[in-house]
Amino acid sequence: MENLLVVGSGLMGGGIALVSAKAGYKVTVVERSEEDLQRGFALMEKTVSSMVNKGTWTEEEAKGIWENLHGSTQLGDGKHVDLVIEAVPEKLILKQDLFRKLDQVINKDAIFATNTSSLSISAIAGVTKRPDKVVGMHFFSPVPIMKLLELVCSPSTSSETMEKLQVVGERLGKTTIAAKDFPGFTVNRLLIPMLNEAAFLVMEGNDPEEIDKGMVMGANHPLGPLKLSDYIGLDVLLFIMESLYEGFNDSKYRPCLLLKRMVEAGWLGKKSGKGFYTY
């Protein structure tokens, strides 16, 4: 595998494209429009500059990234790639429609990966004629910094596909873990309900700073659950909780009502300036 197609150039897609290009892959980034593509490349340029200024990446590495990275607005420009990594918004219908189109224009031997954090890999793979070559590649944000890569296999995913992506993960400098295709996979199934429970504690009258202090000092967490929720985005947190609730049909995954009301009010966390904390 030497040629990659990354669909989507937002925070996740751009980060995936950068670490892939840094690892020496030839990467084509596809967006819906030229305007979206320019916006995505501007975000990537900002990320590269930050990594260089911090001394995490060298000037030489940054130069190599731009040599390996190209943009396009046509899926067909990636028809000869070995691996497609999709990083579009978390909507099942949107991802299924994209995978149908990819299946028609990308060579039949290419592996398709989705960066979904909670949606069914089986439901996405089922719209293609290559379900054995469809897998979840769940990167964590920010992609250039976070070391974990969760590889998610559906019942249809072949062992050969998983083995190939473990090699890709290692080349990207990530530590990979394998997870089965159940809602939330491994990390989010454990993490997100804990953050949701912290929201219940706030709803019951507890102070966010006290809750966070308790988990930092008492459980040795680097960041309290409510501060982390704000960083993730309360809308993202709510979406994943709703996916868990719908996927398992189990009341223990019910989203906190306070979380719903905060999202309805536009209090999405750090990105909106207000969440459990004010920024």
Residues facing 71 on adjacent strands: 29
Q: Give the number of C-alpha atoms closer than 13 A to the C-alpha of residue 127, restricted to the C-beta side.
A: 18
Catalytic residue selected from 68, 117, 154, 229: 117
What pLDDT digit, counting tens, does each position of 4-39 carry?
Answer: 999 999 999 999 999 999 999 999 999 999 999 999
pTM of the model: 0.91
Distance CA 216, CA 210 (A): 10
What pLDDT digit, counting tens, does each position of 138-187 carry?
Answer: 999 899 999 999 999 999 999 999 999 999 999 999 999 999 999 999 99
Catalytic residue selected from 31, 68, 118, 138: 138
Domain CATH number, residue 118: 3.40.50.720
Task: Examine the domain organization and report whether 39 and 92 are in the same domain.
Answer: yes
Task: Examine the domain organization and report whether 212 and 85 are in the same domain.
Answer: no
Task: Examine the domain organization and report whether 129 and 192 are in the same domain.
Answer: no
Q: Extract the tokens encoding 5.
A: 């197609």
What pLDDT digit, counting tens, does each position of 134-146 carry?
Answer: 999 999 989 999 9
Task: Examine the domain organization and report whether 27 and 138 are in the same domain.
Answer: yes
Per-residue model confidence (pLDDT) at position 122:
97
Domain CATH number, residue 248: 1.10.1040.10
Residue 1: band (very low, low, confident or very high) from pLDDT cuts 50, 70, 90: confident
* 278 found inside a domain: no
Residue 265: band (very low, low, confident or very high) from pLDDT cuts 50, 70, 90: very high
Catalytic residue selected from 86, 115, 150, 243: 150
Task: Examine the domain organization and report whether 106 and 153 are in the same domain.
Answer: yes
Alpha helix locations (H) across 88-175? 92-105, 121-125, 159-171
DSSP 8-state code for residue 89: -
Task: Examine the domain organization and report whether 131 and 33 are in the same domain.
Answer: yes
Of 180, 215, 230, which residue is a domain's last? 180
Task: Examine the domain organization and report whether 176 and 108 are in the same domain.
Answer: yes
What pLDDT digit, counting tens, does each position of 63-121 carry?
Answer: 999 999 999 999 999 899 999 999 999 899 999 999 999 999 999 999 999 999 889 99
Task: Examine the domain organization and report whether 154 and 219 are in the same domain.
Answer: no
Per-residue model confidence (pLDDT) at position 238:
96
* 279 found inside a domain: no
Of 157, 180, 203, which residue is a domain's last? 180
Counting Cβ atoms within 10 Å, is residue 98 exposed (0-12), middle (13-18) or buried (19+)? buried
Selection from 59, 81, 64, 63 nearest residue 72 by Cα: 81
What pLDDT digit, counting tens, does each position of 183-231 carry?
Answer: 999 999 999 999 999 999 999 999 999 999 999 999 999 999 999 999 9
Selection from 120, 186, 188 nearest residue 154 by Cα: 120
Task: Examine the domain organization and report whether 130 and 242 are in the same domain.
Answer: no
Q: Does the annotation mark 150 as catalytic?
A: yes
Task: Examine the domain organization and report whether 143 and 205 are in the same domain.
Answer: no
Task: Examine the domain organization and report whether 80 and 158 are in the same domain.
Answer: yes
Q: How many domains does the chain have?
A: 2
* 277 found inside a domain: no
Catalytic residue selected from 188, 196, 229, 243: 188
Of 180, 201, 229, which residue is a domain's last? 180
Structural domain range at position 66: 3-180
If one counts every other C-beta atom within 10 angstroms of the C-beta of residue 51, the result is 20
